[in-house]
Structure 1
Amino acid sequence: MRKRVLDVAEESFQARGYHASSLGDLMMAAGITGGALHHHFPTKKALAMAVIEERVAAAVEQTWIAPLLAAASAREGVRSVFEAVAAELERQGFVRGCPLNNLAHELALADPDFRIALSGIFSTWRQALADKIASDQQAGVEQGTDPQRFAALAVAAYSGAMSMAKTAQDASILRDCLAALKPV
């Protein structure tokens, strides 16, 4: 039941946003009672924190960090993620945006707990990129690249591209970024 509630909340927060997702709508979509919901998540905030910590963090891990670590280089990892996400969005035919971005835009100023949790995911993502650049440098590539700045640029480029793609309902901006990320 907990998983079903998280599934419904994750989908609703991504499609409509946290504030537009009422507990009543979430309960109806999950097919549960208020008592069952409150047994697992005593407040809407607790539910959102679980979505952030369990689902959004896992999505960044699966979409970004794991492919990055498996790539031959940081730059190639970034390119492969942009390519994979662009291809998936083109296949879907619509863009809902990045779950982390969507919640960060909506919630970062609403509550310090949300801001800290979301910021932590961005920090973990950036550090994984910086660590991969540092590893590349030990292997003799990416000399002269500042790992922290490269990580900041890659995360910002992706986040911005996803916001632009969502607004335009067009994933081509990801392809434009991909073209600019030519191998060194």
Structure 2
Amino acid sequence: MASLYTPQLTRCRVATDGGVVRDCVDHEGKLLVVRREDCRRRFFFRGDNNNDDDDDAQQRECIRIDGEVFPLMEEKTVAAPGAGGNNAAVRCVEYVEDDGSALLLTVTVKGEGKEQKQKVAVVDARSGEVRVLGCSGSYYDSGYYDRDTGTVQHVVEVQVQVQGGGRESYMLLVSVRKELARIVRIKRLN
């Protein structure tokens, strides 16, 4: 079973020569082809007691790479309000916490060429509203480049509603493949 702090990898579909579509994950800077039979359903338990009660368990698809188990995130396309009242298609990944709560995260792009700025944003699943996340005042607000993986790392603060009306805040490290504006990995930091 993977821990709360194990990175979640995005499973995306890419077309290869001959029009064949393959599932892939980006791991440590390498694009790995994944067969559906390589993915396993694993149970992640909510709460403190690890019993086999199905009401407390959540099934997640995972993949084993070099002996480590990584939960997989799926890419989705959702409609978000665009300019002129038209809806625009937004590519997102669904980040799921151990308690089953989910966030739809995407990458926003402004500008072109060397002036291009990418930010991580959360998408409201009901309204389609896109809200940019960040660490206000942080040096790394627009991300930093990781040469080892070839991705831009964004540290973002997420606030979610919890039972009882309170709010919980935590930090995520979101890895973005800049040339594709695609989230490839998310790791919870605290």
Normalising by structure 2, we get a TM-score of 0.25
- Greater relative contact order: 1 or 2 (C-alpha under 8 angstroms, separation 6 or more)? 1
Q: Higher helix fraction: Structure 1 or Structure 2?
A: 1
Normalising by structure 1, we get a TM-score of 0.25
